[in-house]
Amino acid sequence: MTEQTSPTSLQQKDSTSKQTHFGFETVAADEKAGKVMEVFSSVAYKYDIMNDAMSMGMHRLWKRAFIAKAVLPKGGVALDVAAGSGDIAIGLLNKVNREARVVLTDLNGPMLQEGARRILDEGLLPATADCIQSDGTKLPFADNSFDLLTVAFGIRNFVDVPAGLSEFYRVLKPGGQFMCLEFSKPVIPLLDVVYDAYSFNVIPKMGEMITGDKDSYQYLVESIRRFPDQARFSKWINQAGFSLVRHDNLTGGVVAMHRGYKL
Ligand code: SAM
């Protein structure tokens, strides 16, 4: 696959060969969803602790920067896809003094249960924050339903990323904002070397110590490396129909915040 590969040709290639990637492993496309499900079911109950440990707390700053750029009108409704334990949904609601509604959705039951538990701890009711289990590539919502759609550290796990982007476009209202926070490609010289050494040598071992599951964290590291870089992913967002597509690098491009609008 070259830098020029379009999401459409990627999809055609995948549907013809019925192969995709699970980290560095090549697997049958219909096998990947089950494998991703196993990863997150295995780590769900220690997901928040592990996030703090492996990012050295940085994920909180990345999410704060992301939420700061999100546009959710008072009385509006947002969809947080791959919501997991709910950091983004809770942050969005707090930003607007809880005067909006957020729907949390995730493919994985145990991860979404963590989100539902946190929502209850925050004293939020379903009228303000509702949890609905679904695949981000087949959202059970009508066209033009949401003012804002967010996805943080989730889309790289999708079997079909372009299908997810098209689905996000479909459910956003005209004028709605799409925001994606995802690991990306370091743009500072030598940062990639240090980052690779840390990712491949430290994170799987840390995962083993904290969650007892080294393989899931090996997958997470590999899935980050396989994900398209800032420019290529921006092109995919654009090809899904979004306008005014831009990205901002965080921590030298270790993470990128992507934005686009349905005009
Ligand atoms: N957004 C949360 C955060 O930032 O802390 C959770 C991110 S967690 C790394 C990735 C999440 O993506 C998991 O909860 C996983 O179940 C979810 N996920 C993976 N594939 C998905 C899909 N096809 N549709 C919806 N959610 C998916």
pLDDT for position 25: 83
The rounded Å distance from CA 104 to ligand 1 centre is 11
Tens of pLDDT, residues 239-261: 999 999 999 999 999 999 999 99
Answer yes or no: is the C-beta of 157 below 6 A from any ligand 1 atom.
Answer: yes
Answer yes or no: is the C-beta of 107 below 6 A from any ligand 1 atom.
Answer: yes
Helices marked H in the chain: 7-17, 29-43, 47-55, 58-69, 87-95, 109-121, 161-171, 191-201, 203-211, 214-226, 230-239
Using CA atoms, how far apart are residues 84 and 79, in angstroms rounded to an integer?
13
Domains in the chain and their CATH numbers?
7-255 (3.40.50.150)
49's CB contacts (< 8 A; 6+ apart) are 210
The rounded Å distance from CA 254 to ligand 1 centre is 18
Tens of pLDDT, residues 107-148: 999 999 999 999 999 999 889 999 999 999 999 999 999 999
